[in-house]
Amino acid sequence: MANDELRSLICDLAKSFYDLGWVSGTGGGICIRDGEHVVIAPSGVQKERMRPEQMFTIALDGAIVSRPADPALHPSECSSLFLKAINLRNAGAVIHSHSIHAVAATLLFETEFSISHLEMIKGIQGMSYHDTLVVPIIDNTARECDLAGALEDAILRYPAAHAVLVRRHGVYVWGDDWVRAKTHAECYEYLFRAAVEMRRMGISTRFEGA
């Protein structure tokens, strides 16, 4: 996909993430890898009203390769976090969501979110129905960039996970390309919500037999 198309795609995806409640209040974000570069949205803008010419392109070490003409724009504060998933997991795209279901999950689970025996688990690469899906939860920090160390640590300690939850904040999700990253984001979102609903109904999220 040409860099031009990637920029449009990011705007299109961000609009649909806004409709899902993942990036309201200018929060959250997305980046897509383009070879040795990464196309990434600016920080602190309305995610549902972005335009392709507002995107940044950065190198895999975070250096800015190209930037929008508007001098008021800065690359997403998530950049260093997005690059962790890209460099440590070879991710082709990373999505950061402030979903209220993800935040609720971080309030109901301690250091790991875990759930099993839900069909939607199969939407996560490498997982089957009977597997226990685990997502590490790291504590939030005052500044987003200060999350980088804990995020890297969680990524390394949980090689089967394609996401890291941040307590009282949201979730980072990735995949081999933008389609898989988005599919993962939808599946994790569903599973976080399912877990919250199950707890509310008094049903254990730990499977105890058919």
- Least distance CB 25 / its own copies (angstroms): 4
Q: Is 153 a binder of its own copies (CB under 8 A)?
A: no
Candidate list 1, 5, 46, 145; residue touching its own copies; CB under 8 A: 46
Q: How far apart are CA 60 and CA 63, in angstroms?
A: 7
Candidate list 8, 9, 15, 24; residue touching its own copies; CB under 8 A: 24
The identity of residue 133, as a single letter, is: L
Candidate list 68, 136, 170, 175; residue touching its own copies; CB under 8 A: 170
The identity of residue 182, as a single letter, is: K
Q: Name residues whose C-beta falls within 8 Å of residue 99's C-beta, 6 or more positions apart in sequence.
A: 20, 21, 22, 170, 171, 189, 192
Q: Is 166 a binder of its own copies (CB under 8 A)?
A: yes
Of the ranges 35-43, 54-62, 81-89, 123-131, which one interacts with its own copies (CB under 8 A)?
123-131
Q: Is 139 a binder of its own copies (CB under 8 A)?
A: yes
Residue 48 appears among annotated catalytic residues: no
Of the ranges 55-63, 67-75, 128-136, 155-163, which one interacts with its own copies (CB under 8 A)?
128-136
Length of the chain: 210
| DSSP state letters, 130-188 | TSEEEEEEE---SSGGGGHHHHHHHHHH-TT-SEEEETTTEEEEEESSHHHHHHHHHHH
**Rounded to the nearest 5°, which phi and psi values hold at 161?**
-85, 145
Q: What is the dihedral of CA 89, 94, 100, 101, to 10 degrees?
A: -50
| 87 or 153: CB nearest its own copies | 153
| 9 or 134: CB nearest its own copies | 9
Crossing angle of the two packed helices 79-89 and 148-157, in degrees rounded to 10: 20
Q: Residues 49-88: x/- map of binding to its own copies (CB under 8 A)?
A: ----------------------------------------
Q: Is 6 a binder of its own copies (CB under 8 A)?
A: no
Candidate list 142, 157, 159, 208; residue touching its own copies; CB under 8 A: 142
Q: Is 176 a binder of its own copies (CB under 8 A)?
A: no
Question: End-to-end CA distance of the chain, in Å?
Answer: 45
Which residue numbers are catalytic? 119
